[in-house]
Structure 1
Amino acid sequence: MYVSVCDDLFVQIFERLPPKSIIRFRSLSKYWRSRLLSPEFLHLHRLRSFKNPPKVIIRHIIGGEKHDRDIYTLHSRDQLPLDPDSGFVGIPGVEFPYYIYSLRSSVIGSCNGIICLHNNTSITLWNFSFRRKLIVPRHPPLKLDSVNLKLGFGFDPIANDYNIVAITYNNNAFMYSLKTDSWSAIPPPSARISNTYNVKTVVSACFFNGILHWAGKGNITACEGWTNFILTFNLSSHVFGYIWLPEYRVIEQVTAINGCLAVVYSAYDPFMKKSYSWIQVMKEYGNIESWSIVFKLEKIYRMTVFQPMINGDILATHGLWSRVYNTRTKFTKSLEFGPGCCKVEMQTYVESLELADNKRATNCGKTVYSWKK
């Protein structure tokens, strides 16, 4: 017996599918291609994606004879490369075509399935899930290779728009809108912000609660000396702000852990000749009295932390090493990467359909299997 199913029910089914499946179903007809690329469907699918457990995307830069290769792999929490015998559990890589200067490029951030990449000459937005990229137009007043450039990438739910915010060394500020595909000048922060411990070409922001967060140091008023703080920018109100930090230490990173804003510190004790790294979280956002130390490691300096795994584990890198640390047992386990891997970056990632309806976006990325050797 033939049973008729209404289109709205089909849409509810499609909302629950991964992006690759939805892309295939667009070929059913012109009607479904239009329906599955409509702003309404993309919005509903985005909301569904938020409920899925985030994955970890690992960027591997593989040294080569002619040029370095820029390869990405996507991992669930039980598929991280913890065992040298099992390797990546059959996970293929996706190669991004940075044929030269891969080591000079960096990941600015990941939001709703879009990865923001910077390589000193351009900024690119890339959806890893179905291999679509958009090159952000150049903005002549903004020098992407300047020292102490601060970049942040995030989503404004009120304007339904993705934004890139840039703060230059001389404290000029600009914002890019994906919706209009253009840059505009915005009022800069009230104080010039410097990096916390050394000179970098780019300092990226942590996007949390709709707000960008950069680690910095400076003097907010003429009466105060230089101190560490977090510079914030609200993507909806377009207002800069500051979050005071409890102590003056070297800040390595601002991140988010278990739904809380977190800061990673490093210190070296010259008398004891020991290095330390520890993590503080702001248990109540905006309340500086709620900072609390949740994790401390000895003999580890300049650690970078990523989304926590299961059972109290923390995924982190320091130096050339990437490890998983258990906050309760203090047990550590190294991640095993392929030979020739000279740089590793990690981000949390949620698969999505973003950029699917953007006419300026182009196909980008090829699947590779034997990239480890």
Structure 2
Amino acid sequence: MDTVEDSVELKLPSHWEGKVRYMRSCNGLVCLSNDCYDSICIWNPCTRQYKMLSVPNYAFGVRHCLGFGFDSIGNDYKILWIVTKVVRDLRGFIVSMNLKPEAQLYSAKADTWKKIRIPDTIRISFWNRLKRSCGPDISGKLYLEGEGGLLPFDLRNDVFGELVVLPFLDYNVEQKRIKKSKILDFEGSLAMVYESAAGDESVLSLWMLDDAGLWIKKFNLETDLELDRMYLYLGAQHFLGLNFIFGYKFYNYKKKTTKKLPFPAHLTDVKSVAKFTESLVSLEGFESQA
């Protein structure tokens, strides 16, 4: 990782429409979506093969969430899509809204979408603050982040689990801890980075969810890191973080060193970042790029 000094430009599939809003990578395949979540593509940048998906018709959806992962038992790549539907009159005004969303799951092996049952125990407030993308595939599970917790989805059994309460809530002033990361895959375990007060200074700490469902503080990061957000754990002791002024940086938590991510100078509006590993994986129905 210390030798990363350059970037490679990749050409998106010719049928791609709109800007990339969502990007996740799994075993060398990349899932892409546009802003409206009505154009979804599975793509292998190394083999230059791709597949544009036929998506369910949710023309009146107002909230969306997307996730991409791999069922290692069934040897199947899956896409989880959450949408809240609304009903509009002939003038386009909303007349009713179904606050409880619908979930659809795409199976690459079957090449079909199917409806997934949403648990009745999850409050509407969770969905009202649902993030627009799931975290990475962590040991065969995707995690949706909403108000107060994380909702796991089991990619093997195609079912939602029980809500996992976050270690600290952003609005809990008494604890003076602020969430500073997206959902992270830290060495195969779910992890989050929080900032907490330490005297007159603040400290960033990595908290990991153990097998018993308890949050354990793994270690502290240096106090003067100056990263406003952690996006990915890349392995080999490296995180990818963002400074709102100076851009994306690599951070080695053992050596406590940072290095600026070498984006080309003309790329000033970064929409998505993903960890990617090269592979030759190919799916049924893949087409070759022109």
Q: Which category describes the TM-score, using the shorter chain as reference length?
A: 0.7 to 0.9
1:336 Cα deviation from its structure 2 partner = 3.0
Distance 1:313 1:301 in 2: 13
Alignment-mate amino acid for residue 264 of structure 1:
V
Partner residue in 2 for 1:332: 258
CA contact (8 A) 1:276 1:301 kept: no
Aligned residues: 258
Q: How far apart in 2 are the matches of 1:264 and 1:137?
A: 37
Q: How far apart, CA to CA, are the structure 2 residues paired with 1:275 and 1:318?
A: 16
Report the Cα distance in structure 1 between the residues aligned to 2:215 and 2:263, rounded to whole angstroms. 40
* 1:322/1:334 contact within 8 Å kept: yes
**Aligned-pair CA distance for 1:295:** 2.6
RMSD: 3.1
User: Could you tell me which amino acid in structure 1 is paired with residue 273 of structure 2?
Assistant: M
Looking at CA atoms only, which structure, 1 or 2, has the larger radius of gyration? 1
Q: Is the 8 A contact 1:309 1:315 kept in 2?
A: no
Of 55, 62, 66 in structure 2, the residue corresponding to residue 146 of structure 1 is 62
The normalised TM-score by structure 2 is 0.76
Give 4+ residue runs of structure 1 displaced > 6 Å after superposition: none
C-alpha separation in 1, matches of 2:59 and 2:105: 10
Q: Are residue 96 (structure 1) and residue 12 (structure 2) matched?
A: yes
Residue of structure 1 in register with 2:239 after alignment:
314
The yes-or-no answer on 1:263 pairing with 2:170 is no
Following the alignment from structure 1 to structure 2, what is the Cα–Cα distance between the partners of residues 137 and 100? 14
Task: Map residues 1-373 of structure 1 onto 2, 5 A cutoff.
Answer: 77-81=1-5, 88=6, 92-97=8-13, 101-102=18-19, 105-119=20-34, 120=36, 121-141=38-58, 146-147=62-63, 149-169=64-84, 170=99, 171-189=101-119, 190-191=121-122, 192=124, 193-194=126-127, 202-217=132-147, 228-241=148-161, 242-249=163-170, 250-251=178-179, 252-265=181-194, 278-282=205-209, 284-295=210-221, 297-298=223-224, 300=226, 302-310=228-236, 312-319=237-244, 321-344=247-270, 345-355=272-282, 358=284, 360-364=285-289
1:150–1:205 CA contact under 8 A, matched in 2: no
Q: CA deviation at 1:318?
A: 3.6
Unaligned runs of 5+ in 2: 85-98, 171-177
Q: Deviations over 1:295-316 (max 9, x none)?
A: 3655746413323454x33222
**CA–CA distance in 1 between the matches of 2:182 and 2:128?**
11
In percent, how many aligned pairs have the same letter?
Answer: 25
Contact 1:305–1:317 (Cα < 8 Å) also in 2: yes
C-alpha separation in 2, matches of 1:346 and 1:363: 24
Q: Where does the alignment leave 5 or more consecutive residues of structure 1 unmatched?
A: 1-76, 82-87, 218-227, 366-373
- The CA distance in 2 between the partners of 1:338 and 1:288, in whole Å, is 41
After superposition, the Cα gap between the structure-2 partners of 1:174 and 1:309, relative to the gap in structure 1 and judged at 3 Å, is: closer
Secondary structure of 2:4's aligned partner:
coil
Report which of the two has the higher share of helix.
Answer: 1
Q: Write the distance in 2 (CA, Å) between the matches of 1:322 and 1:195.
A: 29
SS across alignment from 2:273: strand
Question: Does the 8 A contact of 2:139 with 2:188 survive in 1?
Answer: no
**Structure 2 letter corresponding to 1:110:** S
Distance of aligned partners of 1:277 and 1:108 in 2 relative to their CA distance in 1, 3 Å threshold: farther
Cα distance change of structure 1 residues 326 and 113 upon mapping to structure 2, 3 Å threshold = closer
* Conservation of the 8 A alpha-carbon contact between 1:245 and 1:288: no
The Cα offsets for residues 253-284 of structure 1, whole Å up to 9 and x where unpaired, read as: 11111232111346799xx7x887543222x2
Bigger RCO of structures 1 and 2 (CA < 8 A, at least 6 apart):
1
Residue type at the aligned position of 1:187? R
1-structure distance, mates of 2:194, 2:18: 30
Contact 1:137 1:181 in 2 (8 A): no
**Cα shift at 1:288:** 0.9
Aligned to 1:55: none
Matched AA of 2:279: S
The residue identity in structure 2 corresponding to 1:180 is A
Please report the TM-score for the alignment, with normalisation by the length of structure 1. Answer: 0.60
CA deviations over 1:134-154 (Å, ceiling 9, x no partner)? 1111201476x733x221111
